[in-house]
Amino acid sequence: MAASVCLFPGTFDPITNGHIDIVNRAVYLFDKLVIGIGVNTNKQTMFTTEQRMAHIHEIFKGNSKIEAVFYEGLTINFARDIGARTILRGIRTTTDLEYERAIADMNRVIAPEIETFFLTSSAQFATVSSTLIRDLIRYKHPIDHFVHPVIVSDLEKK
C-alpha cells in the first residue's frame, strides 16, 4: 500500500502555536505530513522563505514524518506533485470554514482524487493568526504566548 501523504499548506508568516497544534494533532493520521510554505501574492511577508523554513525545521526537528517544502503556484497542483492524497486545513471560525470550503470544492473539481481534511483549532488557539502576530511584532508587543520560542529568539537577534 502506498504511503499516505498529507499537505498542510500556508504562508506560515510566522508559524503560530495554532499551526503547531494542528500539525501535532494531525501527524499521526498520515505516513508523512508536508508543511507547504506557499507564496500568497495577496500577502506581504515579514519573514523570508528561508527564515520560515528554518523555524519549521527547528520546531519539528525530532519528527521524521514531518517535512517543510517551499512551493509556488496552485496548492492543488503542488499536492499532486508531491503525491499528497489529502490537504489539511485548520479551521478557527465559521468564516474560515466558508472560505476553506469554497477552495476545497474548487479543488475537488480540479483533482477529485485529493480530499481536503478540516481540523478545528483547539480552543486556546481559536483567535491566533499570523496576521495578528505580525501586528504585535510591528508594535513591539511580546508574542511569547502565541508562537514557539524559536521565533521569539529569532526576533530578539534582530
Q: 19 catalytic, yes or no?
A: yes
What region does 68 belong to: left with phi over 0, alpha with psi -120 to 50, or beta?
A: beta
Q: 108 catalytic, yes or no?
A: no
Among the options 85, 89, 121, 130, which is catalytic?
Answer: 130
7 CB-side CA count, 13 A: 26
Among the options 32, 92, 101, 108, which is catalytic?
Answer: 92
Q: 92 catalytic, yes or no?
A: yes
Among the options 19, 52, 134, 148, which is catalytic?
Answer: 19
Q: 101 catalytic, yes or no?
A: no
C-alpha–C-alpha distance, residues 115 and 107, integer Å:
8
Q: Dihedrals φ, ψ of 21, to 5°?
A: -60, -45
C-alpha–C-alpha distance, residues 31 and 6, integer Å:
8
Distance between alpha carbon 94 and the CA centroid of its chain, in Å?
18
Query: 80 and 86 in contact (C-beta within 8 Å)?
Result: no
**Active site positions, annotated:** 19, 43, 92, 130
